[in-house]
Amino acid sequence: MTAYNTIAFDPSRCELCNDCDACITACAQVKSGTDNPLHSRIKIVAGFNGNDPELALCRQCGDPECVKSCPSTALTKNPETGMIDWEKSLCVDCLLCTVGCTYGGITYNATLKHVAKCDLCDGDPACVKACPSGALTYVTSASIFNEQHEREDLFVPGLSACQGCNSEMIMRHSLRKVGPDTVLATPPGCIPGMGSVGFNGTTGTKVPVFHPLLTNTASMLAGLKKQYNRMGRNVTAMALAGDGGAGDVGFQSLSGAAERNDQVLFICVDNEGYMNTGMQASGSTSYGSWTTTTPVGSQMKGKRTGQKNLAMIMMNHNCEYVATASTAFVEDYYEKLDKALEASERGFAYLHIYSPCPTGWRFPSSQTIEVCRKGVETNFAPLWEYERGGELRFTHSIDNPLPVEAYLNLSGKYRHVSEEQLAHIQEQVNERVKTLKRFAGMN
Amino acid sequence: MNTTHYLIAGASHAGLEAAHRIRLVDETSPITMVTRDAHPPYSPTILPYVVSGQSEPGRVVLRKPDWFEQHNINLVSDDELVAIDEAQRQVTLKSGQQWQYEKLLLATGADPIIPPIPGLEKTPFHVLRTMQHAVALRDHAGKAKRAVVLGAGLIGMHGAENLRHAGLEVTIVEMCDQVLPGYFDSRAASVIEEAFNDNGIRMLMGSRVVEVEPEGEGCRIQLENGDSLETELLLVATGVRPQLDFLAGTSVANDQGILVDDRMRTSADNIWAAGDVTQATDFYGDKPVMMGILPDAVTQGAVAAMDMSEDHALKPYAGGVPINTYTFFGQQAISVGQSMAEDGIEELTRLDDDNRGYLKILLRDNQLHGISSINQEMDAGIMWQLILRRVDLTPVRDAFIERPLETGRALMSSTWR
């Protein structure tokens, strides 16, 4: 199996309504040397009734119907690049490929007198480069699959996570990458709840795993690591903790280990509350959020206080490495995991992963990654990293963010939010970015 | 006795798609494919282009030998199914080989119909269904000056155009009074006929051949109206029909083709059928129909294979929809779905001033019933899906009628996400 790079389209960012057409013109120029939109292999069409625009473009399908409908073998799926290649000298212009395609991805060009389709510009698509709004992106995260899929998944296949759980993905990705020479601590929370510490006397992982108290995760790992060091074994001491186990009741041991710069890789999976025990609020729960302890009624309208910014607090411990991450930007996460793993050889490394929860936040299980993405794109959950002694560095642009509603509207926990609350949240987001920029030396 | 788990008779689009689909979910069970061709697998659709010389037989191979090796598929070439013993789950091939199967797929395609014209049996003529036919026709065309094509269906029209490209004087004789009946209405057909006339092909529509007799290097063709034609080369293209002799003694129900349900199961246990050999559900009516188009063969092959391999993703066959993307002398005629209005159908047509562009939309209760066009940009696949999914066009009706291309694209793109 090989995964491939692809062009992604985010209609909410597309500026067709402003008659942008930049991608169409760029494609026409590259393919024909003219601005004539008829030569463009990417077409943006208006959505209905004011909806976002839609895309007609070759999807470079995995099991392509156009290839199956081609009688001349002019169309083939390239196993190296994943592209559907078209060979002019074989094509008989029968147009049967256009019957196979349901996306308008291969169409007849009356000027050229044959079909034309996207060839990804040999891996450097002109349309993506021309797109002014970031609606088109060239997604290269396939390389992660190609590099990682041979490695063993160190969690058992069956876990009792909720459908669409972001934490399960974080666990599987992280442990696969960190590897088998690991001792894992999973304090009370969703992660042991879904089975990391196992059922009926067996563990849920293929590495040693234990279940510390909420209060002592970092200190237990620090001790274990020291003992392994004495034995002369190089073992990664890793925690997968929730925001409660990291930032609320678990905070004193976390802070202590960071202050001592103990050799620990501490990953905080932040779903903004105690989702495992019935969706109670935590210090990480954001302002305005509905939880079972911050209900919505005639007086109270969700949480009245803001969330503490645990990642920034950890940065101020001046430990080896601190970063925020999101599963919608998995290449970014893998890079940070590499750096954190390396930093944990020297001292304390802390990764803070924004982890929207379909069950507790009230959004459909299919939308987890979309909520993650919008969190980043609205600057609600900015992506950055910090290395000891250096400056904070943004790893995803904080310029031109989407309005915060684009994120809030996706989750039921913000459904009741009033105009005033919305303005307050937007203000908080702006303030937080401003603070981060100061640490990044960007003022 | 040879044994195999899956036995696939036929190695064109339906059979190849079936083998591919089975291997997606079943990597190990033995698959054996039997094809009557000695030539590696090819598409019957490519044959007219082999005749004109545009396509080389060696360059249109749908699957190379290493594909069969990689997927652990045993290909038996130059042999064909002659008998089935369904009780014992055994087949006999022409060579005498016998195979024991667990599951059998019949994807043997169709053969040319030879019309009962007096004198034809003693007259040399061509048909066009196999690579051998195509090569013979190409070689003969290289030496002949004149050609007569009987039949203005797809094979006849493609054959005639390609013989014209090869430099021959070509005449088409067709019993109906229009070309490509069933796919296009008379107005669209007249645009196509005009292009053929303009390119020097003589079109004798509504003409019936009453007798054929050999004459010199070729033959003389006597028409009902008293005229006669002389030609060196005669191509008979009056349709195709499956050859079903191998069903003798089985309980496999058949009419014009093998009758199948919406999972491509025949009436016999452990036997499926797909492609041109079948007479499957009609999308538009209750009576099963012969479809005989390439994308439909692919779909049927996929459905059959998914049922055979117990693939849970199987979606039953939605029924045959006529589809034709017909290119002729640099022009394009596309037709998806029904082409003729009947009761309860709303018909909207547009004709360009120069008579070269044509668009016809048929709606039933604001669902797309059929669309046909000439020289208009058209996403046939999108239109096909709009019909199959019975997409309600009510909210976008005006936009669809005004701009079917863009509206169809937006509709499909929105369902994709």
pLDDT tens track for A356-406: 999 999 999 999 999 999 999 999 999 999 999 899 999 999 998 999 999
Q: Can you name the residues that pair with A117 across neighbouring β-strands?
A: A106
Q: CB of A372 within 8 A of CB of A327?
A: yes
Those residues whose C-beta lies under 8 Å from the C-beta of residue A325, and which sit 6 or more positions away, are A332, A333, A336, A337, A351, A352, A353, A354, A383
- Which of B81, B88, B102, B29 shows the shortest CA–CA distance to B270? B102
Q: Which domains can be identified in chain B, with CATH numbers?
A: 2-110+242-308 (3.50.50.60), 120-239 (3.50.50.60), 330-416 (3.30.390.30)
Per-residue model confidence (pLDDT) at position B416: 66
Which CATH number does A6-143 carry? Answer: 3.30.70.20
Nearest to A93 among B327, B384, B399 (CB): B327
- Which of A406, A411, A418 shows the shortest CA–CA distance to A301? A418
Q: Nearest residue of A to residue B49 by CA position? A: A92
Tell me the C-alpha to C-alpha distance, in Å, between residue B42 and each of A71, A347, B15, B73, B131.
Answer: 7, 64, 11, 17, 8
Q: How far, in whole angstroms, is CA B379 from its chain's centroid?
A: 19
As a whole-number percent, the residues of chain B with pLDDT over 90 amount to: 89
Task: Answer with the residue of higher pLDDT: A224 or A143.
Answer: A224
Q: Across the interface, do B295 and A46 touch by the CB < 8 Å criterion? A: no
| Sign of the CA dihedral running A287, A293, A299, A301 | positive
Q: Does A112 touch chain B (CB under 8 A)?
A: no
| Sign of the CA dihedral running A51, A56, A61, A65 | positive
Nearest to B381 among A11, A54, A101 (CB): A101
As a whole-number percent, the residues of chain A with pLDDT over 70 amount to: 99
Name every chain A residue with its beta carbon within 8 A of the beta carbon of B297: none
Q: Does A92 touch chain B (CB under 8 A)?
A: yes
Q: CB of B49 within 8 A of CB of A92?
A: yes
| 3-state secondary structure (DSSP) of residue B187 | helix
Q: Across the interface, do B413 and A107 touch by the CB < 8 Å criterion? A: no
DSSP secondary structure code for residue A201 in this structure: T
CA distance B96 to chain A (A): 32
State which H helix or E strand residue B202 sits in. strand B201-205
Residues comprising chain B, all counted: 417
Q: Across the interface, do B379 and A98 touch by the CB < 8 Å criterion? A: yes
Q: Does A95 touch chain B (CB under 8 A)?
A: yes
The band of A16, judged by pLDDT with boundaries at 50, 70 and 90, is: low
The band of B417, judged by pLDDT with boundaries at 50, 70 and 90, is: low
Q: Does A61 touch chain B (CB under 8 A)?
A: no
- The backbone torsions φ and ψ at residue A102, rounded to the nearest 5 degrees and listed phi first, read -105, 10
Q: Across the interface, do B381 and A71 touch by the CB < 8 Å criterion? A: no
Q: How many CB pairs under 8 A join A and B?
A: 121
Per-residue model confidence (pLDDT) at position B355: 61
Say yes or no: ipTM exceeds 0.85: yes
Per-residue model confidence (pLDDT) at position A198: 86
Q: Does A19 touch chain B (CB under 8 A)?
A: no
Q: Nearest residue of B to residue A113 by CA position? A: B330
Per-residue pLDDT at B179 exceeds 80 = yes
| Sign of the CA dihedral running A253, A258, A262, A263 | positive
Q: Across the interface, do B413 and A48 touch by the CB < 8 Å criterion? A: no
Q: Which of B296, B325, B378, B416 to mutate to test the interface with A (most CBs of A within 10 A)?
A: B325
Rounded-to-integer distance, Cα A54 and Cα A10, Å: 9
Q: Nearest residue of A to residue B414 by CA position? A: A54
Fold adopted by A151-439 = Rossmann fold (3.40.50)
- The backbone torsions φ and ψ at residue A127, rounded to the nearest 5 degrees and listed phi first, read -65, -40
| Sign of the CA dihedral running A359, A365, A369, A371 | negative
- Which of A363, A397, A2, A355 shows the shortest CA–CA distance to A174? A355
- Which of B316, B309, B269, B381 shows the shortest CA–CA distance to B20? B309
Give mean pLDDT, residues B205-216: 94
Listed in sequence order, the DSSP H helices in A203-304 are 217-231, 243-247, 251-260
Per-residue model confidence (pLDDT) at position A17: 60
B150-172 burial code (b ≥16 CB/10 A, e <16): bbbbbbbbbbbbbbbbbebbbbb
Give mean pLDDT, residues B354-364: 86
Rounded-to-integer distance, Cα A268 and Cα A157, Å: 22
Rounded-to-integer distance, Cα A76 and Cα A74, Å: 7
Q: CB of B386 within 8 A of CB of B370?
A: no
| Sign of the CA dihedral running A374, A380, A385, A390 | positive
Q: Across the interface, do B330 and A113 touch by the CB < 8 Å criterion? A: yes
Q: Which of B161, B379, B387, B403 to mutate to test the interface with A (most CBs of A within 10 A)?
A: B379
Q: Which of A1, A9, A52, A54 to mutate to test the interface with B (most CBs of B within 10 A)?
A: A54
pTM for the full predicted model: 0.82
CA distance A49 to chain B (A): 9
Name every chain B residue with its beta carbon within 8 A of the beta carbon of A43: 406, 409
Rounded-to-integer distance, Cα A14 and Cα A133, Å: 6
Per-residue model confidence (pLDDT) at position A11: 87
Rounded-to-integer distance, Cα A442 and Cα B278, Å: 70
A67-114: pLDDT as tens digits: 999 999 999 999 989 999 999 999 999 999 999 999 999 999 988 889
Give mean pLDDT, residues A199-205: 87
Q: Does A65 touch chain B (CB under 8 A)?
A: yes
Q: Nearest residue of A to residue B297 by CA position? A: A69
Q: Nearest residue of A to residue B17 by CA position? A: A68
Those residues whose C-beta lies under 8 Å from the C-beta of residue B323, and which sit 6 or more positions away, are A99, B293, B295, B296, B335, B336, B337, B380, B384
State the residue for tokens 């209760």. Answer: B365
Nearest to A69 among B49, B298, B382 (CB): B298
- Which of B335, B184, B274, B373 shows the shortest CA–CA distance to A99? B335
- The backbone torsions φ and ψ at residue B316, rounded to the nearest 5 degrees and listed phi first, read -60, 155
Q: Does A353 touch chain B (CB under 8 A)?
A: no
Q: CB of B264 within 8 A of CB of B156?
A: no
Nearest to A73 among B60, B336, B406 (CB): B60
Rounded-to-integer distance, Cα B325 and Cα B374, Å: 10
Q: CB of B384 within 8 A of CB of B378?
A: no
Pairing mode, strands A75-77 and A84-86? antiparallel
Per-residue pLDDT at A199 exceeds 90 = no
Neighbours of B262 (CB within 10 A): 15
Rounded-to-integer distance, Cα A162 and Cα A172, Å: 15
Tell me the C-alpha to C-alpha distance, in Å, between residue A405 and each of A66, A71, A424.
Answer: 40, 50, 12
Give mean pLDDT, residues A290-314: 96
Per-residue model confidence (pLDDT) at position B379: 95
Q: Across the interface, do B381 and A47 touch by the CB < 8 Å criterion? A: no
Neighbours of B184 (CB within 10 A): 26
**Amino acid (one-letter) located at B79:** D
Q: Across the interface, do B298 and A55 touch by the CB < 8 Å criterion? A: no
Q: Across the interface, do B55 and A90 touch by the CB < 8 Å criterion? A: yes
Give mean pLDDT, residues B71-89: 96
Q: What is the CA radius of gyration of chain A?
A: 25
A309-347 burial code (b ≥16 CB/10 A, e <16): bbbbbbbebebbbbbbbbbbbbebbbebbebbbebbeeb
Per-residue pLDDT at A19 exceeds 70 = yes
Per-residue pLDDT at A239 exceeds 80 = yes
State the residue for tokens 């048929």. Answer: B362
State the residue for tokens 């969690």. Answer: A155
Nearest to B379 among A69, A71, A107 (CB): A107
Name every chain B residue with its beta carbon within 8 A of the beta carbon of A55: 413
Phi-psi group of A50: left, alpha or beta (phi > 0 → left; psi -120 to 50 → alpha; rest → beta): left
Per-residue pLDDT at B132 exceeds 80 = yes
State which H helix or E strand residue B91 sits in. strand B90-93
State the residue for tokens 């007249």. Answer: B190
Name every chain A residue with its beta carbon within 8 A of the beta carbon of B61: 73
Q: Burial, B202: exposed, middle or buried (Cβ in 10 Å; 0-12, 13-18, 19+)?
A: middle
Name every chain A residue with its beta carbon within 8 A of the beta carbon of B412: 102-104
CA distance B378 to chain A (A): 8
- Which of A6, A5, A9 shows the shortest CA–CA distance to A373? A9
Pairing mode, strands A209-210 and A136-139? unpaired
Name every chain B residue with its beta carbon within 8 A of the beta carbon of A101: 379, 381-382
Those residues whose C-beta lies under 8 Å from the C-beta of residue B14, and which sit 6 or more positions away, are B107, B109, B274, B275, B276, B297, B298, B300, B301, B304
Neighbours of A96 (CB within 10 A): 27
DSSP secondary structure code for residue A45 in this structure: E
Per-residue model confidence (pLDDT) at position A219: 97
What does the CA dihedral A163, A169, A175, A177 come to, rounded to 10 degrees? 150
Sorted by where each begins, the domain ranges of chain A are 6-143, 151-439
Per-residue model confidence (pLDDT) at position A26: 96
- Which of A210, A211, A216 shows the shortest CA–CA distance to A253? A216
CA distance A50 to chain B (A): 12
Q: Does A73 touch chain B (CB under 8 A)?
A: yes
Rounded-to-integer distance, Cα A42 and Cα A58, Å: 8
Q: Across the interface, do B413 and A54 touch by the CB < 8 Å criterion? A: yes
Name every chain B residue with its beta carbon within 8 A of the beta carbon of A51: 414
